[in-house]
Structure 1
Amino acid sequence: MQRKARIIFHLDMNSFYASVEQAHDPSLKGKAIAVAGDPKQRRGILVTCSYEARAKGVYTTMSVWEAKRKCPELILLPPNFERYRAASKAMFDILRSYTPLVEPVSIDEGYMDVSDVEMGQDAVAFAESIQQRIIRELDLPSSIGIAPNKFLAKTASNMKKPMGITVLRKREVAEKLWPLPVIEMHGVGESTSKKFEEFGINTIGDLANAAPGLLKEKLGKVGIRLSERANGIDNRGVDPESVFDTKSVGNSTTLPYDVTDVDEIEKVLRLLSIKVAARLESKNLAGRSITIHIRDANWKNKTRSKTVTNRLFEEKEIFQLATTLFHATWKDEPIRLLGVTVNNVYDKGESVEQLSIFNFEEHAKEEPILKLVEQLQTKFGKDTIKRGIKVKKKPSLESKTSFSKDFLDDHEKK
């Protein structure tokens, strides 16, 4: 029996936050608008902007003052997180009405596996019917990529915006993708593209045809995986549950002014560590490594990471590690932004902590309690008493990641 070909859709909402604002207030339609943070707090960066604003040279991540200089009539709006979450939930509810195989990736994009859906029409017409339904019911534009795998579907959805529908077949990869600069490939950032350039990889085609041994030597497994993507190979399935897989917990903050004072910097690192620890605690998580992120006054970014032996979740240890990493990285330049992230997180209830000279005393104090628990269990049964139970904590503001990730709460099965 011949295996049925996979058909994957990647749906990407167009200028999502700006489009939600225009749907909420129709008087904003056709106008140059942007959603931005508070300029007074130096968070005056555009989160998104409408296509009318883009036509005037305005783009996402541009500073507010520069955007207003390019487009004096630009209408600035503060972010309305709950409004965006409600729109996102409604959009994903529409997608799930066609198939349960929907994988949210972020608040405004997701994958659908429609291989087994009875479309009653070809894939392009089916995608157009979904696109038009979202417009009709939510008044929000989107672009859809159609391909045999997730990587190509994601790539296709970026090819035509707004309101685009693009098919990208594996046999078209050499013609359509290989001539492009490698940095334009999904999954390749500025840092990785610079590494590629160092050993002669400038285009996606160069990456696709590079020797596997060279890629593994220079970039490890990541290099091999990116090479497969450049050849149109991606065997990942659409996983509705992957939205709940937390891989890291972090916080960052843009400072009100450029800071060089060590005491001020360490105060910020402590506050960030407290927030990260609180969020780990609220989710009952611990991590295996920590990363700090530094952005200087010239917008140059630096990161440094460290892997730890024992589980990492306490504020004190997070702060100590973050401070050590900072001083090993910082070269006295003025700091604009700081971030602290605990990576490779997992459920604390599933971990086993390694004893060391630093925590042995703490465990030794618990020994009499453990013996008492064991005695009671032997006498009255194992379920009579347990050392501890996992209590589902009420989410707090500290437990949130960012407003673009809070949407995960809306996908929990009630």
Structure 2
Amino acid sequence: MSAKRIIMHIDLDSFFVSVERKFDPSLIGKPVIIGGSAERGVVASCSYEARKYGIHSAMPTKQAYKLCPHAIFLRGSHGRYGEASREVTDIINNAVPLFMKTSVDEFYVDYTGMDRFHNCYKHASELRQKIMKDTELPISFGMSSGKTVSKMATNQAKPNGQLYIPHGAEKQFLAPLSITKIPGLGESTSQKLFQYGIERIGQLQKMDIRFLESVFGKMGRFIWEKAQGIDHGEIIPHSERKSISTEHTFHTNIADRQNIETILVSMTEELSSKLRKGNKLASCLAIKVRYANFETHTQQEKIPLTAAEHILIPGVKNLLKKAWNQHRPIRLIGVRLSNLATGSYQINLFEDNEEQIRLYQAMDKINFKFGDKTVCRAAGMEIGTRNFNPFMRG
């Protein structure tokens, strides 16, 4: 008989705002919005005080300003957030045998089987207290038999709370909640359910799965299972060692900076696309330069978790300046993205704007459907059809 699953979901409350408040306590209790420029930016994070005005992540900052003109707008600090995320990751890594990092501020912990030796909820509570004490950041968690219910429990516990849903109580917990609380349920699907008079998860629980499949196809089973609290999603062990990389060897040695940068752009674009396709984010960027005599130089730097080339490409170009003596021709150039974490590209890049977000969504949709490099930046088109053979490794 297999052990009952015990899954903990951890979420750092208003993470970016909370980090900023550590450095500037005067922000506490005030509506704070973090994002890009006021004219073309997008809200990356906002305080609960700002959310009362209807502001939320991914909203244009221009709209947020109209809703709450007295809010404090900040551009955000990449380095601070990356360091805070690593600090939390280290604490979790030292406390539990198996966890999964899904974004810069979100984690899953698998306690399955540990209930023979520990009170798992007590251990989770102590872990939360340690994170808050050591990092001075508010944190919420949910615990249940699966990832979905645990995540929904976290959302109900926020801000700065915790909630345990015992085995067998999942449906009872879910029943009064709005169907919009189900993770992964899109707006169009929710609207269609509303048209059938289904507003609460409890109503969904009573629906015939065959009816849902006839209306929504395969999505019907997904909807029904989520409503029942059924979730077989596994916790993929977190590892900081995985990387994705690519190299290009020139037919003849080259010292033309523009051509080298063109190749780097294409290589970086292809790698970042593969990250998004594989649901990965990178937090370390590296470049390799090999000269004609096979002398090899590398440079690397820590970066905020990302899969966006408009962040990665400037970093690659900067590393090229450090790694390459421009008087010496290059035989080989390489790019590596490492310290990967599982998670979707998030709107937490403070230069993001609506146009960039839509561009990524459109490019990925076309490239995933018709093949890599169907659509790419003009800067990388010169070598877009060459075969780089990027690979994943442990």
If the TM-score is normalised by the length of the shorter chain, which range does it land in?
A: 0.5 to 0.7
Equivalent in the alignment of 1:227: 224
1:101, 1:113 within 8 Å by CA — same for their partners in 2? yes
2:4, 2:113 within 8 Å by CA — same for their partners in 1? no
Q: Which has the higher contact order (CA 8 A, sep 6+)?
A: 2
**Is 1:341 matched up with 2:363?**
yes
CA distance in structure 2 between the partners assigned to 1:51 and 1:230 by the alignment: 27
Equivalent in the alignment of 1:281: 270
Distance 1:243 1:342, change over 3 A: farther
Q: Deviations over 1:17-52 (max 9, x none)?
A: 101111233343333322121023x22x33212234
CA distance in structure 1 between the partners assigned to 2:56 and 2:183 by the alignment: 19
Aligned pair partner of 2:188 in 175, 186, 191: 191
How many percent identity over aligned positions? 31
1:170, 1:232 within 8 Å by CA — same for their partners in 2? no
CA distance in structure 1 between the partners assigned to 2:85 and 2:97 by the alignment: 16
Equivalent in the alignment of 2:210: 213
Equivalent in the alignment of 2:36: 37
1:145, 1:154 within 8 Å by CA — same for their partners in 2? yes
1:240 Cα deviation (Å)? 2.0
1:100, 1:240 within 8 Å by CA — same for their partners in 2? no
CA distance in structure 1 between the partners assigned to 2:192 and 2:67 by the alignment: 34
Aligned pair partner of 2:156 in 138, 156, 159: 159
- Name the aligned partner's letter for residue 179 of structure 2: V
Q: What is the 5 A alignment of 1:327-406?
A: 338-339=358-359, 340-343=362-365, 390=389
Which secondary structure state, in structure 1, belongs to the residue aligned with residue 364 of structure 2?
A: strand
Equivalent in the alignment of 2:74: 77
Distance 1:275 1:53, change over 3 A: farther
Equivalent in the alignment of 2:351: none
**Is 1:8 matched up with 2:7?**
yes
Distance 1:390 1:72, change over 3 A: closer
Q: Deviations over 1:344-403 (max 9, x none)?
A: 859x9xx9xxxxxxxxxxxxxx9xxxxxxxxxxxxxxxxxxxxx884679xxxxxxxxxx
CA distance in structure 2 between the partners assigned to 1:276 and 1:198 by the alignment: 47
Equivalent in the alignment of 1:144: 141
1:228 Cα deviation (Å)? 0.9
1:173 Cα deviation (Å)? 3.3
Which secondary structure state, in structure 2, belongs to the residue aligned with residue 171 of structure 1?
A: coil
1:187, 1:226 within 8 Å by CA — same for their partners in 2? no
Equivalent in the alignment of 1:21: 20
Larger Rg: 1
1:191 Cα deviation (Å)? 1.0
1:197 Cα deviation (Å)? 3.1
- Name the aligned partner's letter for residue 137 of structure 2: L
Q: Which sections of structure 1, spanning at least 5 residues, go unmatched?
A: 247-273, 289-334, 352-365, 367-387, 394-411
Which secondary structure state, in structure 2, belongs to the residue aligned with residue 97 of structure 1?
A: helix
Equivalent in the alignment of 2:129: 132
1:10, 1:112 within 8 Å by CA — same for their partners in 2? yes
CA distance in structure 1 between the partners assigned to 2:218 and 2:92 by the alignment: 33
CA distance in structure 1 between the partners assigned to 2:95 and 2:128 by the alignment: 13
Aligned pair partner of 1:87 in 72, 84, 87: 84
Distance 1:215 1:242, change over 3 A: farther
1:181, 1:202 within 8 Å by CA — same for their partners in 2? yes
1:216 Cα deviation (Å)? 1.9
Which secondary structure state, in structure 1, belongs to the residue aligned with residue 156 of structure 2?
A: coil
1:7 Cα deviation (Å)? 1.2
Distance 1:62 1:124, change over 3 A: same
Q: Cα RMSD over matched residues?
A: 3.9
1:276 Cα deviation (Å)? 10
Equivalent in the alignment of 2:104: 107
- Name the aligned partner's letter for residue 183 of structure 2: H
1:53 Cα deviation (Å)? 3.4
**Is 1:96 matched up with 2:93?**
yes
CA distance in structure 2 between the partners assigned to 1:149 and 1:37 by the alignment: 36
1:282 Cα deviation (Å)? 3.1
Q: Which sections of structure 2, spanning at least 5 residues, go unmatched?
A: 244-262, 278-353, 373-385
Distance 1:77 1:284, change over 3 A: closer
1:227 Cα deviation (Å)? 0.6
Q: Deviations over 1:65-93 (max 9, x none)?
A: 55445545422110222321221122122
- Name the aligned partner's letter for residue 212 of structure 1: I
1:99, 1:117 within 8 Å by CA — same for their partners in 2? no
CA distance in structure 2 between the partners assigned to 1:99 and 1:286 by the alignment: 27
CA distance in structure 2 between the partners assigned to 1:214 and 1:156 by the alignment: 28
2:101, 2:238 within 8 Å by CA — same for their partners in 1? no
Distance 1:116 1:54, change over 3 A: same
CA distance in structure 1 between the partners assigned to 2:133 and 2:143 by the alignment: 21
Which secondary structure state, in structure 1, belongs to the residue aligned with residue 124 of structure 2?
A: helix
2:174, 2:229 within 8 Å by CA — same for their partners in 1? no
CA distance in structure 2 between the partners assigned to 1:94 and 1:123 by the alignment: 17
Q: Deviations over 1:172-201 (max 9, x none)?
A: 333332233322222212111122234453
Q: What is the 5 A alignment of 1:238-277?
A: 238-240=235-237
Distance 1:242 1:194, change over 3 A: farther
Alignment TM-score, normalising by the size of structure 2: 0.60
Which secondary structure state, in structure 2, belongs to the residue aligned with residue 86 of structure 1?
A: helix
- Name the aligned partner's letter for residue 31 of structure 2: A
Alignment TM-score, normalising by the size of structure 1: 0.58
2:142, 2:151 within 8 Å by CA — same for their partners in 1? yes
